[in-house]
A and B are shown apart, each in its own frame.
Chain A
Amino acid sequence: MPMVRITDVRKAYASGLEALKGASLDIHEGEILALLGPNGAGKTTLISTICGITQPTSGTITVGGHDVVTDYRGARSLVGLVPQEINLEPFERVINTVRFSRGLFGKPKDDALLERILRQLSLWDKKDNRIMELSGGMKRRVLIAKALAHEPRVLFLDEPTAGVDVELRRDMWEIVAGLKKAGVTIILTTHYIEEAEAIADRIAVINKGEILLVEEKTALMTRLGQKELRIELHEPVDALPAALADRGLRIEEGGQVLVYTYDTAQERTGIATLIREVSEAGLVLRDLQTRQNSLEDIFVGLVSKQEDAA
């Protein structure tokens, strides 16, 4: 049973705009999932429907097996949310807002725990300050402290590092890593692909309310660590010559192009041998190209493919 199961969720806002168009996604316990997508893709909407801020128009969502609509208490008590916008009462003191959050989730007072959380977020010496006296990055950390105050099993971070300096971003990553170690399931949205690369176990790409890809980061990275050599031929071929049959070549563009994939990390890429063998087989080269995938490529490729289809 996945920690969060999203099944064919649609969300149409009152304006008629359909922000989610049948999204399905399983999130496993203890993993870090990065949700990537351009502005307006539906990331915040997806998170809001899971957390109870909006209701899905159709489809079901469960958290820890609890349906978020019919068994909202069971579901929501497992979930912590760090919203995208900095929503805090300016006149309130840090410690009070954090206590409030814990109480709202029905947890008894536990000042030792709150102290640990605030220390971990370097907010302890600011605990008696009013929110308006804090810097933007500190406010973001207060939001995290509030979300952690009730010891959630699943944490949603909606663009936690937007507008945050490099140092704080590293701090955030460390905090996220620490939470993962404690067994917390983490879903974060981000526009920074290198962020997803740095901390996520799996990566999901969403655009226009549809989830386009969900994949293990390592599998993605292997794809990324690979380079392609594209050999353009003078005359198209129907099939590979027998001499090249076991070289792992792919025929593309109606036989006009042979594609050779290789690992850049390897000592011998085999390119030299391959090119010799290609001409020995009687094929005439017209052009050579190499290209390296990046997560960005994959991302942009997916998004633009969807746009073409539309």
Chain B
Amino acid sequence: MNWQAIRAIYVFEMSRFFRTLLQSFVSPVISTSLYFVVFGAAIGSRIDQVEGVSYGAFIVPGLIMLSVMTQAISNASFGIYFPKFIGTIYELLSAPINFLEIVLGYVGAAATKALFIGIVILGTSALFVDLSIQHPLAMLAFLVLTCLSFALFGFIIGIWAGNFEQLQLIPLLVVTPLVFLGGSFYSISMLPPVWQTISFFNPVVYLVSGFRWSFFGFADVPIGLSLLAIAGFTVLCLAIIWWIFKTGWRIRQ
């Protein structure tokens, strides 16, 4: 393993993040605050409590998941697409490194950034609502796994994309709808039965539910299923990455 190379990619990618630290930090803080104002105050005044938890606190896990998923995808997809776009990919291709090392560097950095933003949102939320985390270790595990698996997914999108439109296509058409309909702002049990059934086909529901369980101890779906969903998604992404590695798809002419 060329650890120096992994480190070099990681540090280089993170420096892009720190260069825009203010932006990286301020935008999640502002958007979280807005969500609290809009959802917490406006809707919260009508919903009051969900399963004994104030509505403001109830939406925190979903809010974190929402940002973490989209950030992990966009960071990782952009991270590997950008060198392809401006041509600096020649360096990655001519360096004594293999695909696994490239993946570790880019996905590691993208996941770290997403994790950082997740923690910032958690901190900001604590300013607005009373939060207690019942299963902190499980919470952290869910958070890290989500960051990693969605960063892997974003990396695949970045390798696949041939232009900027394609880069945005899957996040826009698939990920955002699934995430918004994934029970971030409501409990699935609040939906009419038909929509409940449909929701169970949405993988994001399992992630949000499991993550919420680690905060409050209740969930829409059994926690085992949530774990299975995140593990399954990670394995699927790893399998695709492995296939790309084997075939050299979209990387080397």
Cβ–Cβ < 8 Å partners of A174 in chain B: none
Contacts of B96 in A (CB 8 A): 72-77, 105-106
| Chain B residues whose C-beta falls within 8 Å of the C-beta of A91 in the assembled complex | 16, 19
Contacts A53-B253, A100-B12, A106-B4 aside, 5 further interface pairs with beta carbons under 8 A come to A52-B252, A76-B96, A101-B91, A104-B4, A106-B5
Q: Tell me if B166 counts as interface (CB < 8 A to partner A).
A: no
Hey, what's the 0/1 contact readout for B68-112 against A, CB within 8 Å counting as 1? 000000000000001000111011111111000000000000000
Residues B88 and A89 in contact, CB atoms below 8 Å apart: yes
Q: How far is the CA of A104 from the CA of B9 in the complex (A)?
A: 7
Which residues of B in the span 1-57 have a Cβ within 8 Å of any Cβ on A?
A: 2-5, 7-9, 11-12, 15-16, 19
Which residues on A sit within 8 Å (CB–CB) of B253? 13-14, 53-55
**B5–A55 CB distance below 8 A:** no
Query: Chain A residues in contact with chain B, CB under 8 A?
Result: 13-14, 51-55, 72-77, 79, 81, 83, 85, 87-91, 96, 99-108, 146
Judging by beta carbons under 8 Å apart, are B93 and A53 in contact? yes
Q: Across the interface, which residues of B come within 8 angstroms of A72, CB to CB? A: 96
Contacting B94 at CB < 8 Å: which of A14, A51, A96, A107? A51
Q: What's the Cα separation between A193 and B15 when bound, in Å?
A: 43
Q: Roughly how many angstroms separate A82 CA and B88 CA in the complex, as a whole number?
A: 11
B240 to chain A, nearest CB (A): 21
**Which residues on the A side are within 8 Å of B19 (C-beta)?**
91
Contact A103 B93 (CB under 8 A): no
- Is the pair A107, B87 in contact by a Cβ cutoff of 8 Å? no
User: What's the Cα separation between A81 and B93 when bound, in Å?
Assistant: 11
Known: A14-B253, A55-B253, A87-B86. A76 touches B94 (CB 8 A): yes
User: Contact at B94–A52, with CB atoms within 8 Å?
Assistant: yes
Contacts of B97 in A (CB 8 A): 104, 106
Would you call B8 and A103 a contact (CB within 8 A)? Answer: yes
A87 and B87 contact, CB distance less than 8 A: yes
A54 vs B97: C-alpha distance in the bound complex, in angstroms?
15
Contact B95 A104 (CB under 8 A): yes
Q: In the complex, are the beta carbons of B94 and A81 less than 8 A apart?
A: yes
A85 & B252 in contact (Cβ 8 Å cutoff):
no
User: Which residues of A sit under 8 angstroms from B91, Cβ to Cβ?
Assistant: 87, 100-101, 104, 146
Other-chain residue from B4, B87, B88, B92 in contact with A108 (beta carbon distance below 8 A): B4
The reply to whether A105 and B12 form a contact with Cβ atoms under 8 Å apart is: no
Cα A149 to Cα B51 in complex, Å, equals 60
A89 neighbours in B (Cβ, 8 Å) = 82, 86, 88
CB < 8 Å: which of B15, B90, B248, B252 contacts A83? Answer: B90
Task: Give the complex CA separation of A108 and B8 in angstroms.
Answer: 10
Instruction: List 15 interface pairs A-B (beta carbons < 8 Å), by A numbering.
Output: A14-B253, A51-B94, A52-B252, A53-B252, A53-B253, A75-B96, A77-B96, A83-B90, A87-B88, A87-B91, A89-B88, A100-B8, A104-B8, A104-B91, A104-B95
A-B interface, 6 closest residue pairs, ranked by CB to CB distance from nearest: A103-B8, A87-B87, A73-B96, A104-B95, A76-B96, A51-B94
CB distance from B125 to the nearest CB of A (A): 32
Inter-subunit contact A103/B4 (CB<8 Å): yes
Chain B residues in 8 Å Cβ range of A102 = 8
Shortest C-beta distance, B166 to chain A (Å), equals 18
Once bound together, how far apart are the Cα atoms of A75 and B93, in whole Å?
13
- CB-CB under 8 A from B92, the residues of chain A are 104
- Inter-subunit contact B4/A85 (CB<8 Å): no
The residue in chain B whose Cβ has the minimal distance to the Cβ of A45 is B253
A96 surroundings in chain B (CB, below 8 A): 12, 15
Question: What chain A residues lie within 8 Å of B248 (beta carbons)?
Answer: 55
A91 to B12: give the CA distance in the assembly, Å: 12
- Which residues of B from 196 to 219 have beta carbons under 8 Å from A? none
Instruction: Give Cα A104–Cα B128 distance, bound, in whole angstroms.
Output: 44
Q: Which residue of A lies closest to B253 (CB)?
A: A54
Q: Give CA–CA (A53, B89) in the complex, Å.
A: 9
